[in-house]
Amino acid sequence: MRSSHLYAVILAGGSGTRFWPASRKSHPKQFLKFAGEKTLFQQALMRISPQIGGSRIFIVTNAAYRKTVERQISSFRIPRTNVLLEREPKNTAPAIAWAAAKIYKKDPEAIMAVLPSDHLILNRKNFQQALGRAVGLAQKNYLVTLGIVPTRPETGYGYLQTVREKGILTVRKFTEKPSLSKANAFIRKKNYFWNSGMFVWKASVVLAELKKHLPEVYRLVGGRTCSAYMGSVWSRMPNVSIDYGILEKAKNVAAVPAFDIGWSDLGSWESLAEVLSKDKRGNIFKGNIVAIDCKNTLAWGQTRMIAPLGLDSMIIIDTPDALLVCSKKYSQGVRDIVNKLRDRKYKEI
């Protein structure tokens, strides 16, 4: 997979509200340590750095995170000019368009791997193999998405409907967050994958699709040239995802199944609990935890002792200024708590 024309774009601008109270507005989940001694953002860099040198790694992030990003990339030899700072969130299409324009100007033959910074991938070797297969398809002018084999009827993910044509899995349809009955049907059909949000394509190909389907975004990034900082232009960008704006409309979309990569998008505390090592009763305890007769429970503390007793399928997240206690089945609702805190102008967000 190693190539002088292979680039990486790491998207690191998310707010991570569903991981409150550990994740905060000023320090979201991609900059936290959930598994190991490195943050999720640093782990994303480590997964691609053996194949892609620092000069070919670009990062798109919120301007508010600039110092955090610069501190966490210090050992990866990534030029500061490769850090693209958004003044406000505008979803994935503008972020990817900006990076594609920068990369194309540098290398018209570039292939770019677009990767989230806040996913957990435990099997690096299998991930790199899947990425290599995706690069091979991108060289044939496909827009490639990495698909995850579903393990349950998840209603919080997007799905890819695929069909095999001449040995290639082409994507026929995108379905965003289906109902439970549809998700069950998708799993039974075996040709559906979760949309991982990881993409590989030529910079020239995605720019051509942007010009066709999102001409305003294409125009605002300056066609195929742009500055290191978008300034006031950014506020005029449409707020649109790459999936809705490009992939659902394009005719040349292919999928590469990412088998056994130990993936989680970490969309909730429950999803983290699914991938971390557990004790014999399905518990995950981090911090000073003294537990009795608990099962399937995640307790995550910092300084104070946590003493759960007789709990089943619960989540406890303790920080110095906030405590979350909820059933696992309600973990997607943490975002609603954050919204309520924001509405009431609490500082603990």
CB 241 within 8 A of CB 99: no
Closest by Cα among 300, 344, 264, 267 to 21 = 300
- Do residue 142 and residue 26 come from a single domain? yes
- Do residue 194 and residue 307 come from a single domain? no
Is residue 349 a part of any domain in this protein?
Answer: no
- Do residue 242 and residue 320 come from a single domain? no
Q: Could you list the residue range(s) of the whole structural domain that residue 317 is in?
A: 269-343
- Do residue 220 and residue 329 come from a single domain? no
- Do residue 215 and residue 126 come from a single domain? yes
Whole-number pLDDT of residue 226: 56
- Do residue 76 and residue 132 come from a single domain? yes
**Mean pLDDT, all residues of the chain:** 92
Per residue in 231-274, pLDDT (tens digit) is 778 889 999 999 999 999 999 999 999 989 989 888 889 888 88
**Mean pLDDT, residues 208-227 taken together:** 83
CATH code, domain carrying 135? 3.90.550.10
- Do residue 199 and residue 299 come from a single domain? no
Exposed e or buried b per residue across 314-335, where buried means at least 16 C-beta atoms within 10 angstroms of its C-beta: bbbbbbeebebebebeebbebb
Per residue in 283-299, pLDDT (tens digit) is 999 999 999 999 999 99
If one counts every other C-beta atom within 10 angstroms of the C-beta of residue 339, the result is 12
Is residue 171 a part of any domain in this protein?
Answer: yes
The model's confidence at residue 224, banded by pLDDT at 50, 70 and 90, is: very low
Domain count, the chain: 2
Is residue 277 a part of any domain in this protein?
Answer: yes
Residue ending a domain, among 232, 264, 296, is 264
DSSP SS3 for 49 = coil
Our CA angle for 270, 272, 278, nearest 5°, is: 95
Per residue in 301-341, pLDDT (tens digit) is 988 999 999 999 999 999 999 999 999 988 888 989 999 99
Residue ending a domain, among 231, 264, 297, is 264
Is residue 79 a part of any domain in this protein?
Answer: yes
Ranked by mean pLDDT, the top range of 19-33, 152-166, 241-255 is 241-255
- Do residue 188 and residue 276 come from a single domain? no
Is residue 348 a part of any domain in this protein?
Answer: no
Closest by Cα among 334, 178, 81 to 186 = 178
- 250: tokens are 């394009």
- Do residue 304 and residue 180 come from a single domain? no
- Do residue 117 and residue 255 come from a single domain? yes
Say yes or no to pLDDT of 229 above 70.
no
Is residue 1 a part of any domain in this protein?
Answer: no
The residue length of the chain stands at 349
Ranked by mean pLDDT, the top range of 29-43, 131-145, 161-175, 326-340 is 131-145
- Do residue 225 and residue 274 come from a single domain? no
- Do residue 259 and residue 273 come from a single domain? no
Whole-number pLDDT of residue 279: 95
Say yes or no to pLDDT of 36 above 80.
no
Residue ending a domain, among 264, 284, 307, is 264
Instruction: Select the more confidently predicted residue: 229 or 184.
Output: 184
CA distances from 260 to 129, 146, 148, 268 (A): 11, 12, 9, 21
**Mean pLDDT, residues 139-145 taken together:** 97
pTM equals 0.89
CB 128 within 8 A of CB 47: yes
Burial class (CB in 10 A: 0-12, 13-18, 19+), 248: middle
Instruction: Select the more confidently predicted residue: 229 or 105.
Output: 105
